[in-house]
Structure 1
């Protein structure tokens, strides 16, 4: 009988396991993936959004609670639990120090479209280094880690988890624990489940992260009468290079060129304002926008003036000497794309271009408009990138209390079950996204869940 059993192997799970072990509990962590692919989506991350009232470490200037809350409110459109959100924001202030104490190193933020030095702390070596540091810390503390172990069912009876059924290295294994922490993520890698809400369009989605995020634990808990939260049809989807692999392409497949380009669909028509807001607050809407176009594909079109304003794709840019030639290489109708570019160029009203701020370069008389960073596309070579929806995580999850305890549909908490990370993030992040906020939720609620699970086991 373990004191604490943690389901999952990403940031939230590791924070819970480490915290519970430091509180004196015996801890076993079950990671679905083999050791070489451990870490869930966390190994593809690179930063955490943290509140701070003064410059601290790699964080510059000030990023207080009010501004953080306002940023979250705008991207979610109010689809958030304010109490849990503010609690997360305040607790994020202590996260970098705790992370450093457990082996995570930080670096100054990168420049470019995601210049976040004032709001986000970047991990030296990225998410893989963070995951490795946490696993090393967990091992030093004496956490038992079982890799290649998929949880298939939590035996929930009379308001408590009685046993956890798994398949470990191909063999059935049942474990028991006084406390259980579910930190196994969403169902974004389960194309069949995505198809229930998106139809055949889901077949064209690319999954940016781990293929092990099948949602088995989430679906099992909901089937046992746990209260759900979040829209099952919502997902964090960004525009990524259409040439990316089906799974595990990671952050390098994302395309940051949208604010400095025009984006067209298969008919070569624009369909949304590419310059609506600064990229950290708007990049997460573009996956859904592309998902709604025919064939779930779109194309970013730009010219030589914009070529060095963003992080390039891991795949080579598609270049041409003319718009018609570029259209041919992208499989678009040359005349249609030439018409779209000509109309756009004619509508551009020059201003003071500033790639790092909401400038006054805009279009006039164009529908949809481009409200910032609008410059004519007229300088060869002309550049194109194909875009597809890249799914990071889903918003459907389980309802939790401020102590991370999981609630049943009747409002009563499960006596010995807590949740952290993507499986409960829908309580706070109902839609939209802020760069680095998922890691903040996982870190804060991972630590809460670990501490509460250990306390319960000790009692």
Structure 2
């Protein structure tokens, strides 16, 4: 019988598998995807948010625990477990040497990501390189990996893990780590979670999945049915406004449109609906998917003029371009008169001071609702550009309640041999909102923790059996 069974194939699962193997346990990892699609959403990641008290190679200055905590508190609105959040924050300061030992390399932030140069460590080669490094290390250490191995059922004895079933095969293990993601790719579940709005629309029908198609939530649902303790709102997710032309799955980070804070966002009625300049983009980009999801038709339109061009990461698709604002409105399919009134009111309300997109500058609007509190400049210099945006779901926050040992809980009590990591438990830390790189912080911290706990449980059982 295998010591530790790890279900999942992304960052959290691999961290768990590597830690369990390093602790002396035999490990089998089950990845539902084929090899070419291995890694779940981790193939699309770029960086890890890291606490540090002084400069560290690719990280500038300092990013102390309390500042990290305050950043998380702000984006979640307090919907977070402080004990587990601080566990993640502290773990983020000590994991990079371990990551390097397993082949992960880091690089300085590139232009266009400079807001993150102090807080986030970027992976050289991105998520694919990180995954490849971990899989190579796992193979070298003797971790068994099976692809095309979707687990469709879990066998429990009360709150204890007994076995998993893969295509009818029963696989027993002394302990198990669940790290197989949320349910964002399950269209029916997403539709049921979001329901029908007052306009008679089913918002989830217009959602795009930024990552893997394999996160169907099968084991999350199985654990819910088995009585595991659940945390989180099924409608809360890492949800970003992305180009409406993005593919349904796996468009990744390049489909994000990063010029929202430098222009205005309009809904289908050609009206603004939120402060585009509320805070730095890495802290606020992940609110825009949900904001767009609440608009008519689940669509928004980012409009800029020529002034911001070159100040943001270019998206994969070029924007709609027009020499005049009325022409742009027509190309975007928006009511021209309303569009012109909205832009005119915005332009008139702008109070331009010293524009600087790298700081919270003094360019703002007055007498306008909603206000734009930073980086507000008139949209008056052609050519003009527009991007139609849809909600892009990265991962859902509904998950399994856990603790500082990464144990799955049943009726408030931790299981002795069933553990959870990654997106399946991220809702303990992320009740809502997001800030760049924190998903990798959570996955790495709890992946390593779950692997250690699972190995300890398995080896303890083996020692007890031998006695």
Which TM-score tier does this pair reach, normalised by the shorter chain?
A: over 0.9
Per-residue deviation, 1:428: 1.1
Per-residue deviation, 1:96: 1.3
RMSD after superposition: 0.9
Q: Work out whether 1:104 is the aligned partner of 2:104.
A: yes
Query: What CA distance in whole angstroms lies between the structure 2 residues aligned with 1:356 and 1:173?
Result: 55
Query: What CA distance in whole angstroms lies between the structure 2 residues aligned with 1:441 and 1:48?
Result: 9
Show the counterpart of 1:119.
119
Q: How does 1:373-384 map to 2 (within 5 A)?
A: 373-384=375-386
Show the counterpart of 2:415.
414
Query: What CA distance in whole angstroms lies between the structure 2 residues aligned with 1:197 and 1:154?
Result: 24
Q: How does 1:8-407 map to 2 (within 5 A)?
A: 8-112=8-112, 115-167=115-167, 172-199=168-195, 200-407=202-409
Alpha-carbon spacing, 1:113–1:341, altered in 2? closer, same or farther (3 Å): farther
Q: Work out whether 1:431 is the aligned partner of 2:427.
A: no
Query: What CA distance in whole angstroms lies between the structure 2 residues aligned with 1:233 and 1:27?
Result: 34
Per-residue deviation, 1:211: 0.3
Secondary structure, in 3 states, of the residue corresponding to 1:115? Answer: helix
Superimposed CA distance per residue, residues 301-357 of structure 1 (whole angstroms, 9 cap, x where no aligned partner):
110001111111100121000011111111111222111111111111111101111
Per-residue deviation, 1:91: 1.0
Show the counterpart of 2:465.
none
Alpha-carbon spacing, 1:367–1:240, altered in 2? closer, same or farther (3 Å): same
Superimposed CA distance per residue, residues 33-81 of structure 1 (whole angstroms, 9 cap, x where no aligned partner):
1000000000100000010111112011000001111111111111111
Moved over 3 A (4+): none
Secondary structure, in 3 states, of the residue corresponding to 1:220? Answer: helix
TM-score (norm 2): 0.96
Query: What CA distance in whole angstroms lies between the structure 2 residues aligned with 1:256 and 1:7?
Result: 34
Superimposed CA distance per residue, residues 211-248 of structure 1 (whole angstroms, 9 cap, x where no aligned partner):
00000011100110000011112111011011000111
Query: What CA distance in whole angstroms lies between the structure 1 residues aligned with 2:438 and 2:415?
Result: 27
Per-residue deviation, 1:23: 1.0
Per-residue deviation, 1:118: 0.4
Per-residue deviation, 1:198: 1.3
How many pairs were matched up?
454
In structure 1, the gaps of 5 or more residues are none
Per-residue deviation, 1:115: 2.5
Secondary structure, in 3 states, of the residue corresponding to 2:122? Answer: strand
Alpha-carbon spacing, 1:407–1:114, altered in 2? closer, same or farther (3 Å): farther
Secondary structure, in 3 states, of the residue corresponding to 2:155? Answer: strand
Superimposed CA distance per residue, residues 6-39 of structure 1 (whole angstroms, 9 cap, x where no aligned partner):
0000000000001101111110000011000000
Show the counterpart of 1:4.
4
Superimposed CA distance per residue, residues 363-392 of structure 1 (whole angstroms, 9 cap, x where no aligned partner):
111111111000011111001011100001
Query: What CA distance in whole angstroms lies between the structure 2 residues aligned with 1:243 and 1:455?
Result: 47
Show the counterpart of 2:442.
441
Show the counterpart of 2:463.
none
Query: What CA distance in whole angstroms lies between the structure 1 residues aligned with 2:399 and 2:144?
Result: 27
Query: What CA distance in whole angstroms lies between the structure 1 residues aligned with 2:450 and 2:54?
Result: 28
Query: What CA distance in whole angstroms lies between the structure 2 residues aligned with 1:5 and 1:119?
Result: 34
Query: What CA distance in whole angstroms lies between the structure 1 residues aligned with 2:413 and 2:61?
Result: 43
Per-residue deviation, 1:113: 5.6
Alpha-carbon spacing, 1:201–1:114, altered in 2? closer, same or farther (3 Å): farther
Per-residue deviation, 1:159: 2.2
Query: What CA distance in whole angstroms lies between the structure 1 residues aligned with 2:415 and 2:356?
Result: 52
Secondary structure, in 3 states, of the residue corresponding to 2:185? Answer: coil
Query: What CA distance in whole angstroms lies between the structure 1 residues aligned with 2:262 and 2:113?
Result: 10
* Contact 1:114–1:279 (8 Å) recurs in 2: no
Secondary structure, in 3 states, of the residue corresponding to 1:236? Answer: strand
Secondary structure, in 3 states, of the residue corresponding to 1:305? Answer: coil
Per-residue deviation, 1:114: 5.8
Superimposed CA distance per residue, residues 84-132 of structure 1 (whole angstroms, 9 cap, x where no aligned partner):
1111111110111111111001110122266201000000010011011
Secondary structure, in 3 states, of the residue corresponding to 2:52? Answer: coil
In structure 2, the gaps of 5 or more residues are 196-201, 461-467
Query: What CA distance in whole angstroms lies between the structure 1 residues aligned with 2:346 and 2:448?
Result: 50
Superimposed CA distance per residue, residues 135-179 of structure 1 (whole angstroms, 9 cap, x where no aligned partner):
111011011101011011111122211110112xxxx22100001
Show the counterpart of 1:450.
451
Per-residue deviation, 1:253: 0.4
